Amino acid sequence: MLALSSAFLLAACSNGGGDNDAEGGGNGGGDTVELSYVEWDTEVASTNVVAQVLEDMGYNVNITPLDNAVMWEAVANGESDGMVAGWLPVTHEAQYEEFGDQVEDLGPNLPDAAQLGIVVPEYMDVDSIEDLDDQVPDQEIIGIEPGAGVVSAAEDTVETYDNLSDWEVTPSSSGAMTSQLGSAIENEDPIAITGWSPHWMFERYDLKYLDDPEGTMGDAESIHTMVREGLEDDMPEVYSVLDNFEWTEEDMNTVMLDIEDGEDPEDAARDWIEDNQDKVDEWTADAE
């Protein structure tokens, strides 16, 4: 517990999004809410939006980036009130098996929208992995960091499909992959990448997932909201908002793209809230 507390406090102290003053009315009364997240583009977007909504209700909100396992453990041990970053049933399977009986699962906030796959520009004349041949001259799939789940799935894909026997997966980094994608699209060159959604690249570019008849890239996942035990009794308003929080892939992509284009995450979240107040009102409707 001591090690977790130290890690949690260090992350909280270094996080620019914490200890923000509330901007709007509400019944929060200045109480502090601790939210944790894994520092992926998706979770930066969703956590900042939820934090802004709670701040507008009168709460002070600390948002703390943590490693996957530490994020789950923080909620399980009550050091974090909750998180909106639980990828299930596959990505966080191990963490859910370890901590699932110590947290409360409020269900998906992004149902069946999280997906891995082989992605190509829409202008390429191929629609299925089993039809890939020489459309990409180098016969390579550009990946992200070695060992990432989507890279491992792509490597399994290359081994499974007979037509990909001469293909290889080339790991790089998330930034390098999207940079190569952008350059290829600018010149309308062919390219195949390890893709996942939600991701801002689907908002910026016209892309498509290739059909995967062998299912090697996996099925769609949902992103779940998890809260600590006892939150409903301690902070019923916060619990209600987190329980009602649900949005779409398009919503998330909008916030992620604004952040990718250089906007501060808090400002991107604020802009989205101002443009989608009806949806936010649904999240806060049951708050006392």
What are the residue ranges spanned by the domains of the chain?
2-111+223-284, 114-209
State pLDDT tens for residues 83-118. 999 999 887 888 999 999 999 999 999 998 888 999
pLDDT at residue 205 in the model: 97
pLDDT at residue 64 in the model: 97
Q: Which of 214, 89, 217, 103 is nearest to 163 (CA)?
A: 214
Q: Which of 92, 119, 260, 249 is nearest to 192 (CA)?
A: 119
pLDDT at residue 43 in the model: 94
CATH 3.40.190.10 fits 2-111+223-284, yes or no: yes
H or E element in which residue 281 lies: helix 277-284
pLDDT at residue 136 in the model: 94
List of residues 6+ apart from 264 with CB closer than 8 A: none
pLDDT at residue 18 in the model: 40
Q: Is the preceding omega at residue 137 within 30 degrees of 0, hence cis?
A: no
Q: Tokens for 94?
A: 């191990």
pLDDT less than 70: residues of the chain: 1-28, 288
H or E element in which residue 239 lies: helix 236-244
List of residues 6+ apart from 123 with CB closer than 8 A: 188, 206
DSSP assignment, residue 98?
H
Regarding the domain delimited by 114-209, which CATH topology (the fold level of the hierarchy) does it fall under? D-Maltodextrin-Binding Protein; domain 2 (3.40.190)
Q: How far apart are CA 139 and CA 192, in angstroms?
A: 9
pLDDT at residue 89 in the model: 86
Equal CATH topology for 2-111+223-284 and 114-209: yes
Q: How far apart are CA 96 and CA 93, in angstroms?
A: 5
Distance of CA 57 to CAs 64, 80, 109, 197, 287, Å? 20, 19, 20, 30, 9
Report the predicted TM-score, pTM, of the whole model to 2 decimal places: 0.79
H or E element in which residue 105 lies: strand 103-121
